[in-house]
Structure 1
Amino acid sequence: MALSGRSKDESLPGVLPVFPLMGALLLPRGEMPLNIFEPRYLRMVRDVMGGDRMIGMVQPVDEGQEGDPALYGIGCAGRICSFVETEDGRFLITLKGVTRFKIVEELSSMTPYRQVKADYAPYEGDRLTPMPDAGIARADLIDRLTKFLDRRGLSAEWSAIEKAPDELLINSLAMICPFSPAEKQALLEAKSLRARTRTMISLMEFALADPLLDEDDQQPPVPN
């Protein structure tokens, strides 16, 4: 990924509350709307709103596991950039992705929500401003995307896709396309924007080669 020399000088918490959500993918500078209704996550949002407003989004490895499911080792920290409390007590928030992180360890906590010790060092580049043209295989991606969406009976705003800068295009597609949780994790862990693009093209080609491709979208993710 082509990067400029500017870095976002943001304070990153060493201890990060996490929101395990199967199938949810947040990437740096991406935005994710969330409907918070479970009491433990209402408490988490209240707590972080009084501080740095940072939450870690991370997928559980197996949500069918009893108790707190094991988590993937890599997640993405986001900052709450919008907050609305509904009349029935829910929180409608939007997280803006800041940087990926590696889970060093999960911490014992008195809070009802889970917290981890986070290491951001492997992803220092996430806070650098990307160049508008990152040199991705854009034509190849659009070709596979057209076939992928057509196969699933989905449509797209092609004018917006054509105008989108490379990072916005790739990360938005990674977040909204109906990939499996494991595939979304692979997109999250891609080392660069070019690598994420190559991974996405490969995932679309794999899906197109499957004669049993389910044309239904993934079900909405459910929090653990």
Structure 2
Amino acid sequence: MADLPAVLPLFPLPGALLLPRARLPLHIFEPRYVQMLEDCLKTPERLIGMVQPRKVPGGPPRLNAIGCAGRLTAFSETEDGRYMITLSGISRFRMVQEIEGFTPYRRGHVTWEGFERDRGAVETDAALDRDAFMDLLGRFFADQGLATDWESLKDAEDELLINSLSMLLPFEPEDKQALLEAPRLENRRETLVTLIEFAMRGGDEEMVQ
């Protein structure tokens, strides 16, 4: 925790989920986020906080309390000044207070307490029934008209499998936030299964209950 800063630049992007030990490719082109990236490259940590905005009735979107910080591990610049970057997930954080002014992009005071597991060993899911889970995925992908490399999924370790699906599957931003906030890998898998089953039932709330 001594290496993690108390202030982070924030990149609010609906539906873009980053999880610890996972990688998120991003396309940066808005001037304020190009400035954020250039400032990030000047810091020793090279961290950017991915956080989802949430809708507020009758008001502007607000930031969710929990996000995930990613370290800038790859980037390339195009001739017209855009960037293709990759963030590697380091740890979730909790917003303490947003910082007003001084930069064209948003920044926040954050705390890393409560997310020590994110900076530990790769997680496993002892309760995962892989055969049943893969069967559910097969039916979901067919239902949604999605394609994937099934051999890679079958061979993936628990954490890589569950986190990759959480990041890539087409769920709503509030569902992505629920996956982010799951305390353990097992909880995330349970949330993922619930979301998949909900989607396959056409979003019928009564059938899920």
- TM-score computed with the length of structure 1 as normaliser: 0.85
Return the match for 2:95 from 103, 108, 128: 103
* Percent of residue pairs identical: 48
Q: Which residue of 2 aligns with 1:14?
A: 6
Return the match for 2:54 from 54, 61, 76: 61
Q: Which residue of 2 aligns with 1:92?
A: 84
C-alpha separation between the residues in 1 aligned to 2:75 and 2:199? 37
Note the residue ranges of structure 1 that are not aligned, 5 or more in a row: 1-8, 213-224
- Residues 103-182 of structure 1 mapped to structure 2, 5 A cutoff: 103-131=95-123, 133-137=124-128, 138-182=130-174
C-alpha separation between the residues in 1 aligned to 2:117 and 2:18? 16
Q: Alignment partner of 1:25: what SS?
A: coil
Higher RCO (CA < 8 A, seq sep 6+): 1
- CA deviation after TM superposition for structure 1 residue 129, in Å: 1.3
Q: 1:65 to 1:59 in 2, by over 3 A?
A: farther
Q: Deviations over 1:148-177 (max 9, x none)?
A: 111011122111011100000000000001
Whether the aligned pair in 2 keeps the contact of 1:85 and 1:92 (CA below 8 Å) is: yes
Q: Alignment partner of 1:75: what SS?
A: strand
Q: Deviations over 1:81-101 (max 9, x none)?
A: 001111000111100000001
Q: Deviations over 1:155-211 (max 9, x none)?
A: 221110111000000000000011111111100000100000000011111111117
Whether the aligned pair in 2 keeps the contact of 1:35 and 1:90 (CA below 8 Å) is: yes
- CA deviation after TM superposition for structure 1 residue 63, in Å: 8.9
Q: Which residue of 2 aligns with 1:222?
A: none
Amino acid at match of 1:101: F
- CA deviation after TM superposition for structure 1 residue 136, in Å: 3.8
Whether the aligned pair in 2 keeps the contact of 1:22 and 1:63 (CA below 8 Å) is: no
Q: 1:124 to 1:149 in 2, by over 3 A?
A: same
Q: 1:26 to 1:10 in 2, by over 3 A?
A: farther
- CA deviation after TM superposition for structure 1 residue 58, in Å: 0.5
Is 2:201 aligned against 1:209? yes
- CA deviation after TM superposition for structure 1 residue 140, in Å: 3.0
Q: Alignment partner of 1:77: what SS?
A: strand
Amino acid at match of 1:134: D
- RMSD in angstroms over aligned alpha carbons? 1.9
Whether the aligned pair in 2 keeps the contact of 1:85 and 1:91 (CA below 8 Å) is: yes
Question: For this pair of structures, how many residues does the alignment match?
Answer: 202
